[in-house]
Amino acid sequence: MSCSKEELILLDKTPMFEDDGSPRIIARPENVIVEGELNRKIRITWPEVSKNVTSAKVVITKADFVNEITVTDFNPDIIFQSEDMEEYKVDITYFGKDESSSKTHSIFVSPKDYEVNIIGENMVAEGVRGKARFSFTKLLMGEYTYTISYNYDGKDVVKQFNSGVDTVDTFVLDEIEDENHIYNFKVKINDKVFDHNSYEFTASIKPSPVPYLVISETLTAKQYYGGALLSWTNRSLRSDKVVVKYRVGGRKLHALKNRIYIQIPY
């Protein structure tokens, strides 16, 4: 039996790369999220930033406009308030504690319009039986005041409504009963939180006849087996009741019916 002598080799613990004080390489900030938001805002959301990064420079430009922001706290988002919805260029550069810097990452973004303008553009206005109905779909669920005005017979009518808790705010204006008249409405929306007024929006509505007019146009009367027979057709698609007043032997009587006829004895 033979034995062999093996040599134990110890690894050198000297670092392969020594920190010679040269600047560290910082990655380009390509994973920063830059978005155009409602109410003409640009939002910058930071990812988890390397420990080597101590600050960032954000430069927002458009034509002859330049806004430069230095960032040292990457927890809150940056919100830039624009005056328009034109395209902006956003340049972002990281900086390290050793004065090193990343390559600049550039993004082009356009803010979105004020929410109240978008709500107004998507307004639904329609005529119903003697009424006008307005529906507004909200996006951010803020607090809004709706002002709806019109002129009829030389008189200005102004109605105001406050937003509710539902996604869609619906308001009904009564006394829009002249089916031969086209009502021209003006609508403005105020964002209470953002303190901004919308453009003025318009809607023209010709209402449908009110239910009692629809029913009265079909009313007929005729003699019927020692009495009278009144009949009508309810095309209003509602369960409207008809009040019939009549005299028998000098007495004033009336009947309340929701049927399509009533027999009145002599």
| One domain for residues 189 and 240 | no
In a domain, 133, yes or no: yes
In a domain, 19, yes or no: no
pTM above 0.75, yes or no: no
Which of 205, 222, 241 finishes a domain?
A: 205
Tens of pLDDT along 65-74?
999 999 999 9
| One domain for residues 120 and 175 | yes
| One domain for residues 51 and 105 | yes
Residue 41's pLDDT band, with cuts at 50, 70 and 90, is very high
Q: Token match 């919805």: residue?
A: 85
Tens of pLDDT along 126-171?
988 778 999 999 999 899 999 999 999 899 999 999 999 999 999 9
| One domain for residues 61 and 99 | yes
Range of the domain at 239: 211-265
Tens of pLDDT along 56-105?
999 999 998 999 999 999 999 999 999 999 999 999 999 998 889 999 99
| One domain for residues 132 and 95 | no
Structure tokens at 221: 């009367």
| One domain for residues 157 and 231 | no
| One domain for residues 68 and 125 | no
Residue 9's pLDDT band, with cuts at 50, 70 and 90, is very low
In a domain, 101, yes or no: yes
Residue 180: which CATH number?
A: 2.60.40.10
| One domain for residues 166 and 100 | no
Q: What's the number of domains the chain is made of?
A: 3
| One domain for residues 194 and 255 | no
**pLDDT at site 14:** 41
| One domain for residues 229 and 172 | no
In a domain, 43, yes or no: yes
